[in-house]
Amino acid sequence: MRTFAALLPPAEALDQLADTIGPLRRHPAGERLRWADREDWHITLAFFGETEGSQLPVLYEGLADVARDAEPFSLRLVGGGAFGRRHLWAGVAGDLEPLTRLAFASAGAGRAAGAPGGTVHDAYRPHLTLARNRDRNGDLDHWLARLAGFEGGAWTADSLVLMRSEDAVDGAGGTRYRTQASWPLGGPWPLGGPMKR
Contacts of 176 (CB under 8 A, 6+ apart): 37, 39, 40, 165, 166, 167, 168
Selecting among 27, 42, 87, 121, the annotated active-site residue is: 42
Exactly one of 27, 87, 127, 142 is catalytic; name it. Answer: 127
Cβ-Cβ contacts under 8 Å for 141 (sequence gap 6 or more): none
Spatial contact of 18 and 12, defined as CB atoms under 8 Å apart: no
Cβ neighbour number for residue 93 with a 10 Å cutoff:
16
Whether residue 87 lies in the annotated active site:
no
- The gap from C-alpha 92 to its chain's centroid, in whole angstroms, comes to 11
Active site residue 142: no
Per the DSSP assignment, residues forming a β-bridge with 82 are: 88
The residues, any chain, with a CB within 8 Å of residue 138's CB and separated by 6 or more, are 32, 85
The residue type at 64? A
Catalytic residues: 42, 127
